Amino acid sequence: MTLSVRENLSSSLSEIFPDAPTFGPTRFFSAPGRVNIIGEHVDYAGGLVFPAAIDFRTHFAIRTNGLGTFRLYSLDFQSEFVTNDLNYSEKPWANYILGVILEALKLDLRVEGFDLAFTGNIPQGAGLSSSAAVEVGTAYALSKIFNWDITKEKIALLAQAAENHFVGVNCGIMDQFVIAVAKPSSCISLNTESLEYSYHSLDLPGYEFYLIDSNVKHSLKESEYNDRRKEVESATSKCNKLSTEVRTLSQADFSLIEKAGLTPSEFKRATHILGERSRAQNVIRSLKDKNAEKVGEELFSCHESLSKNFQVSCEETDYIVEWFRSENVLGARMIGGGFGGCVLVLDKEGRSSDLFSKLEKEYFQKFGLNAKIYKFSISEGVREDS
């Protein structure tokens, strides 16, 4: 955390919430955004995902206040919220925090009055999990100031429950999990059914990943994200009736989904899930072999499936991916929930600036939108900042 960020957070607490009888010490925390290299829209289908934390972070300052009141302030929205209860707020940013408090109380974890201010540089609506960073960062900060005896894995599950039950997005576990447990320079391969995971180095000498923001902003709650999950669940149920050993859709095979009586939409969703299982395994193997070309091929294949089978892309992200294909980059695909957001690009080092300069002009001419490029490095997960 830079000194200026710390000072802004501290001064915000003092200026916005000046009067509390028994302030605790102010402590500072941060949580990263994330990218997922492969394994998209499979974390609620029991699939294998391969995400990493990135060096875009949300920063928090927090202290107990002795008031029995939750006093929250978003520097980015210049907005405060004070409450004694946990009713749904008309301020969307506050609900990520309120949901965490509610889920903690359900687990009989101690939560008393506190002041919290936060800010960050994770682009919102870009598919980089800014919301999960708020949830995990809040949960981790509360675990420290109220002395919860809880692992980072449990922190992730609590944060996911806040998103599912309070915010209203029926997301899988991937985002919260990697934000909680990530290590520098490493991706994790996570089995989203068993929650078994391992760390893998992301090292492709001479090649780089970067992000292109389509500047098409999505809200997963308002999008068709929840509909996709319902289709996955209904397809899973039909497969389970034919084979009780199939607990998740990722455990099915093509012969099973062909005779399970799936609707056309369900069949498309299942086709993506099963294809992504193979792609994830191929990418992990190719990264180990340092085969960048094969990783790129799987990224393009993943995008095609997300666009045609899972139908969560949009005209703008499809355009960006195909534009990069025409420029002979190694691979590109949309990431995140979909319906906008970012495209992940893999290419040889040294080409990104020239390519983006060209894309930026052509993209604006076609859509009237300003694309952005984000360079990133792999970072660590949630932490307390000294």
Q: What is the CATH number of the domain that holds 157?
A: 3.30.230.10
- Nearest-5° Cα angle at 286, 347 to 247: 115
Structural domain contains residue 116 = yes
pLDDT band of residue 3 (cuts 50, 70, 90) is: low
Residue span of the structural domain in which 188 resides: 3-201
The total number of structural domains that make up the chain? 2
What's the mean pLDDT in 49-67? 95
pLDDT digits (tens, 9 = 90+) for 163-211: 999 998 888 899 999 999 999 989 999 999 999 999 998 889 999 999 9
Domain boundary among 201, 229, 247: 201
Residues 254 and 330 in one domain: yes
Q: Are residues 43 and 182 in the same domain?
A: yes
SS3 for 22-57 is CCCCCEEEEEEEEEECCCCCCCCCCCEECEEEEEEE
pLDDT band per the 50, 70, 90 thresholds, residue 112: very high
Is 384 among the domain residues? Answer: no
> Domain check: are 70 and 164 in the same one?
yes
Domain-embedded: residue 386: no
More confident residue, 336 or 76: 76
Mean pLDDT, rounded, for 77-97: 93
103 has a pLDDT exceeding 80:
yes
The verdict on 176 and 216 lying in the same domain is no
Query: Are the C-beta atoms of 147 and 54 separated by less than 8 Å?
Result: no
What is the pLDDT at residue 80?
Answer: 96
pLDDT band at 78 (very low <50, low <70, confident <90, very high): very high
In a domain, 81, yes or no: yes
Do residues 289 and 248 both lie within one domain?
A: yes
In a domain, 245, yes or no: yes
Q: Per-residue pLDDT averaged across 71-89, rounded?
A: 94
- 2 pLDDT more than 70: no
Are 161 and 283 found together in one domain? no
Residues 81, 124 within the same domain? yes
Strands 114-120 vs 70-74: parallel, antiparallel or unpaired: parallel
3-state secondary structure 215-244: CCCCCCCCCCHHHHHHHHHHHHHHHHHHCC
The pLDDT score that the predictor gives to residue 337 is: 82
Assess whether 220 and 317 both reside in one domain.
yes
Q: What is the mean pLDDT of residues 219-238?
A: 82
Q: In b/e form, how buried is each residue of 272-292, taking b as 16+ CB within 10 angstroms?
A: bbbbbbebbbbbbebbeeeeb
Of 201, 223, 245, the position where a domain reaches its end is 201
Note whether 236 and 192 are same-domain residues. Answer: no
pLDDT, average across residues 5-22: 86
Q: Is residue 97's pLDDT more than 80?
A: yes
Does the pTM surpass 0.75? The reply is yes
Which residue in 43, 115, 175, 213 is the catalytic one? 175
Report the CATH number at residue 285: 3.30.70.890
* Local structure of 271: helix, strand or coil: helix
Task: Render pLDDT for 272-306 as a digit per residue (tens, 0 to 9).
Answer: 999 999 999 999 999 999 999 999 999 999 999 99
Alpha-carbon distance 146 to 104, whole Å?
Answer: 11
pLDDT of residue 305: 98
Q: Enter the DSSP assignment of 67.
A: S
User: Do the domain assignments include residue 136?
Assistant: yes
pLDDT of residue 276: 96
Active site residue 175: yes
Same domain, 110 and 165: yes
Confidence of residue 220 (pLDDT cuts 50, 70, 90): low
Domain final residue pick, 174, 201, 228:
201
pLDDT of residue 83: 95
244 and 345 inside one domain: yes
Is 381 contained in some domain? no
Residues 36, 59 within the same domain = yes
Is residue 383 in some structural domain? no
